[in-house]
Every structure is written in C-alpha cells, then in structure tokens.
Amino acid sequence: MRETPRPQGTVGDPGAEPPQPRFGRALAHTAGVPGSGEPHRSDRRPPHTPRGARHTDPVGRPGTTPPVPGRPTPFLPAPLLAIALLLAGLFGLFTWQVAAGGPLRRLDERVGDAVRTGGFPGGLAEFCADLGNIAVAVPVLAAAVAWTVWRARAWRLPLTAALALALVPALVAPLKALIGRPGPPGMDGSGGFYPSGHAATTVVAYGAAVLLLLPYPRFGRQLVALGALLILANGFGLVRQGYHWPLDVLASWCLGGLLLVVMAWLRERWEPVRPGRHAGRGQRPAA
C-alpha cells in the first residue's frame, strides 16, 4: 500500500523548519498574562491562593482591606456617638451659662426656688437625696460587680465600672473649684456647688450596675426603669432639699452619662455574645 508523505512546509518555504512554539499554551505559564493557559480574571484581581498572596492590612498583618467580620470597630458606634455628642454639648452649654451668669442660670435659680418651696414632703425628699451618698451607692455597685465576676467569670468590665466611679471625684472637684458657683439659700455661700458630686455618683453607680446586670435574663428590662427612677429621684431630692440648683444636677447627669457611654462601648467590644443566647442559629434549645 502506497503511503503519501506528509508535507513539511508550505509553498515557497526554503526548506522544512521545526515546529515553532505556540505562545499561550504549554510554554507560557506567567500568571495574569492573557492566553497563559490559566483561567485569568478580567478585573486583574489575584487568584485564590494561600495567605502568602493576600494583601496585608495597614499594620502589616495578613488580611483584607475591608474590616474583618466580627472584629470590633475601634470607634464608637453611631448611636453611642450621637448620645456622647449630645451629652457633651449639653454639658458645655450648662457650664457656659453657669459660669457667665447667662439667662439659663437665672431661669435655673427661679426653678430651684420653686421646687424648694413647693411643699413636697421633706422626709421622702431627704431619702431620695441620700441615694447619692457613698455609703449607699458604692455597696449597690459593689454587689453588681461581685455578681458579674461570679456569674460570668469576667473581670474587665466590672473593673471598668469601679474605675468609672472612682473617676467621679477626680472630674467633679476641679470643675467645682473652677466654676465656684454658690449654693442655694441656706447653704455655704463660698461656692463649689457646680456640678453635683452626689448626682454624678448616683448616675455612675446605678447606671454601671444596670449595664453589668442587664445581659442576664433573670433581671429583665425593668432594671433599666428602676435605675432611671433612682437617678431621677435623687436629682429631685437634691434640689428639693436645697443642696443644689437644677443645673448642678443636670450637668452631673451629662458628665456621668459620658462615662456610661464609654462603658457601654467597652461592653460591646469585650462581650459581643450575651449570656443566655445560643452560639449559632442552627442550634436547638436543650429539651
């Protein structure tokens, strides 16, 4: 059987030549080059490779540019930031009016006189004013701290609550000396009544206790209402008994509220999973 020889070239070629390499096949393996034989992406993003090919974050750790899910943000969340700005703005307004003797201070003194002479029972008002005493507020917070340490085996947030209460005199005392506001009639007229140390102690002690105990279902959300009631009652008692002007109390609420905002932010960072919640969505409660 006759066999037709296979042509080795085309018409006009001087002679037979060896096969030429075809780029884009076996001899081209550069990643990212079109036609390299590897699946390439039109957006020029790197392929899915191990960690060595991933970009590093700004501090040099392997990771991606967007925030990693589950990693706490270093800044205040929007709701807490809005509350902090509101409290800081009100505190600045009150301090400016009291120091400059503005119209808000004159209105404050008229309201204070009306509350002091309004005929509210003095015994109940004195009890409410005593809620801000160290002998009352500190044991309440200490009990909440001890419960949280025993129940959650955590110490960072309870320690933060204790430090927040310890910061109250360190913040209030310089402001009292700087502003030098005289007290209501019948009190020492030498000054040093703005802001109220008792009102700030009440806000931080009872507010921090609420933040520590709120995640536990057995206490319920009525705890928030109870804490708010105690704070309001203490402020009213201080004004009714003539220990402070209303703006003294309101400024202390703003100052103590800022400390509670910081504590709430730290709680979100340190304890993202609340006690009593299931770890995953697919888990069923135990029978």
Whole-model pTM above 0.95?
no
Measured between alpha carbons, how far is residue 261 from residues 19, 34, 84, 256 in Å? 76, 55, 7, 9
Token pair of 94 as six digits: 């009150």
Q: Residue 252: its pLDDT value, please? A: 97
Q: Residue 276: its pLDDT value, please? A: 46
Tokens 């006189």 map to which residue? 113
Inter-axis angle of helices 246-270 and 156-179, nearest 10 = 150
Strand partners, 62: 56
Per-state percent for the chain, helix, strand, coil, to nearest 5: 55, 0, 45
- pLDDT, tens digit (0-9, with 9 covering 90-100), for 10-35: 544 555 555 555 554 444 444 545 55
Any idea of the CA torsion for 109, 112, 117, 121, to the nearest 10 degrees?
-170
* Of the listed ranges 56-65, 102-111, 153-162, the one predicted with least confidence: 56-65
- pLDDT, tens digit (0-9, with 9 covering 90-100), for 48-78: 555 545 555 555 555 544 444 445 555 678 8
285 pLDDT band (50/70/90 cuts)?
very low
Query: How many angstroms separate the CA atoms of 43 and 196, rounded?
Result: 62
* pLDDT of 167 strictly over 90: yes
Query: How many angstroms separate the CA atoms of 195 and 180, rounded?
Result: 10
Q: Between 61 and 154, where is the model more confident?
A: 154
Q: What is the mean pLDDT of residues 38-53?
A: 53
